[in-house]
Every structure is written in C-alpha cells, then in structure tokens.
Homo-oligomer: A and B are copies of this chain.
Amino acid sequence: MTFHHALGLGIGTLNSKGQWLEVFFPAPQASPKDETVQGLAAILGGETTAQLTKDQLSTLAASGTDLAELATKLQGSSKPVVAVLLKENAAPKTVPEAYLKLHLLSHRLVRPHGTVLDGIFGVLPNVAWTSQGAIDPEELEDIQLEARMKGEFISVDCVDKFPKMTNYVVPKGVRIAHTARVRLGAYLGAGTTVMHEGFVNFNGGTVGKSMIEGRISAGVMVGENSDLGGGCSTMGTLSGGGNMVISVGEKCLIGANGGTGIPLGDRCTVEAGLYVTAGTKVVLLDDKNQEVKRVKARDLAGKSDLLFRRNSLTGAVECKTNKNAVALNEELHAN
C-alpha cells in the first residue's frame, strides 16, 4: 500500500438540501497505517468522501483496525457520520475533506503549509454558527422566528466559512482567553497563551511557548518563546502583503500596536507602535548609534538579532543589534 496523507471519521451537519455544512473529526489521522487505510478503502470503494451507512460503520467497528473503537462509538450517533480518505496531499474538493485538513492542523498532525489548502474558500460554505449548532444562513430566518415565538433565544455567533477552533479541538497545553478569535485550522504549540486581543487565522500559529496578544495572519508561524504584543499585526499574504510569507523566529517581541510586513529572524524586536513594512527605508546603526547604511526593510527579511525602532527625535526608522532578548514573565506564561 502506498503512503496516504490522512483519514478521519467524523460527525457532520447537513442543510435541508443534504449538503454538508461542517464536519467534526474527533480523532483525525495523518500518515495513517496501511491496515487502517485498507480497511477504510474497502468501504469507500475509491471515493475520498462518503457518508457511512449503519452497515458500513458496523464493518469498520469489526475491522480490528485503529478506527474500530471510534466506529463502534459512532454507531450511536444521531447525526450523519462521514469518512474521508486522502491518498494525496491535494487541494480539498469536498467540505469533509476541507474540514479534515483543518483538523489536521489544529490537532498538530501537520504544520502550517504542510497540507494543501488551495481553493478552500471556494469549497467551504458560509455557515451560521449558532447556539443551536451550524445552520445554513438561507434557512436561518425562519428558525429565528420560530424560536422567538416559542420564547427561545438563538445566539448567532459567527457567519463565516471557518468556525472557531475550540468547538472542534482544544489542543493540550494552551490557554485561549477568547476563543472566537482562533479559527479552526490554527496550529497552537503547547505552552501558547492567546490573550483576548490575540488572533490566529487558519494555516498559521505558534511552534511552542509564546504569548499572543496580537494577530497571526493566515500562513504566519511564530517561533518558540516569542511574544506578540497587544494589537500588533503580522501582514498576511491574503491581504495584499505580497508574495513574501511572513514569519517570526524565536525569542522575538513585536511591541503593542506594532507590526511587521517582513519575516523576522530570531531574537528580533519591533518597538511598540512601529509598523515595519517591506518598503520601509531603514537606517542601520552600529554599536555607537552611527549610521552604517540605508536599506529597505525587505533586505533585512529573516535576519536575526535586530531591533527596529523609530527615533523619537528625528522620526527615522532605525535598526540596530538587539541586546535585549525577550525575557518572558515566568509566572504569567505558565500554562
């Protein structure tokens, strides 16, 4: 049997037309075992995505593979059960495939950029995420009126293609003060705290211990022991940031309300309130604060041990060697 990218058994929601709105995969698998693949492939018969019948679930439950236990449990499900088997790491073609890929990321089974997500915006439907679960926005109006008449209350918390991560998976060793700001598909390393002002988009996240009070755009990874200050910004490639994939190395600090439009190496600091874009002209200073030369920030992309600041007397953006590695507050960061 050849290598397979991933597989999963999930419980999903269909709209009134029988279309998938979303799928919850309690235990997705990346690079699954051969026997698991064979067991599932026998049932799917060449398909990558299929809603399972009672009989198919029974077969899986009796398969002796590492899907047997979950399949046994799911026999008790009152909601539709779906299986996905991805041979290739290819662009997702169905809603369950897209959801499986997002789960792989949030379960830390693949790193950001480790599973192909091309065209995912076109695959995912817009969904109203409510206190009663996922509802097709086209069907919401009637449901809201019916509920009101009965004296019930439906909270509509999100109307989007991506749900919040924690309703699907809460990775070990993280704190997320306000979960509405972390999308399914985010990758949060153990030891990460995302504060109320933090945000993590899908296909981005943190390697390990870090304090995130700023915004991690899609595709952006933040290295170990780095801090994003309150309200700071990392420029996303989806938002016109160009082709350069932004990343933040280890032991970096982007100050509150600051931002970066270039990838940062290790031990870099961007001063609070300063936004360094790729086109920012920067004055390089030596140890004695004398000008060495002037460069565009993009020429400093990925370099380590840099401190970016705006000289508060001249207004010039300056860059010098960073002597203050960020010292994380031990008590605060203890998960």
Residues of A at the B interface (CB closer than 8 Å) are 11, 24, 26, 73-74, 76-79, 119, 121-122, 126, 128, 131-134, 137, 140-141, 144-145, 148-162, 166-167, 170, 172, 174-181, 183, 196-197, 199, 211, 213, 215, 217, 227, 229-233, 235, 238-240, 253, 255-259, 261, 271-275, 277, 280-283, 294, 310-317, 326-327, 329, 331-332, 334-335
**By the criterion CB–CB under 8 Å, are B313 and A294 in contact?**
yes
CA–CA, A26 and B215, complex, Å: 36
Q: Which residues of B contact A132 (CB under 8 A)?
A: 153
B157:A180 contact, CB within 8 angstroms: yes
- Report Cα–Cα, A311/B277, bound state, in Å: 12
Interface pairs (30), CB distance under 8 Å: A11-B149, A79-B151, A121-B331, A126-B175, A126-B335, A132-B153, A137-B170, A141-B170, A155-B167, A156-B166, A156-B170, A157-B178, A157-B179, A158-B177, A159-B166, A162-B177, A196-B199, A211-B239, A229-B233, A235-B256, A240-B327, A256-B275, A257-B257, A259-B272, A261-B272, A273-B273, A281-B312, A281-B313, A313-B317, A315-B315
CB nearest neighbor in B for A126: B175
A65 to B155 alpha-carbon distance, docked (Å): 32
Residues on B with C-beta less than 8 A from A119 are 331
Nearest chain-B residue to A70 (Cβ)? B145
With A131-B155, A159-B170, A281-B312 known as contacts, the answer to whether A197 contacts B178 (CB < 8 A) is no
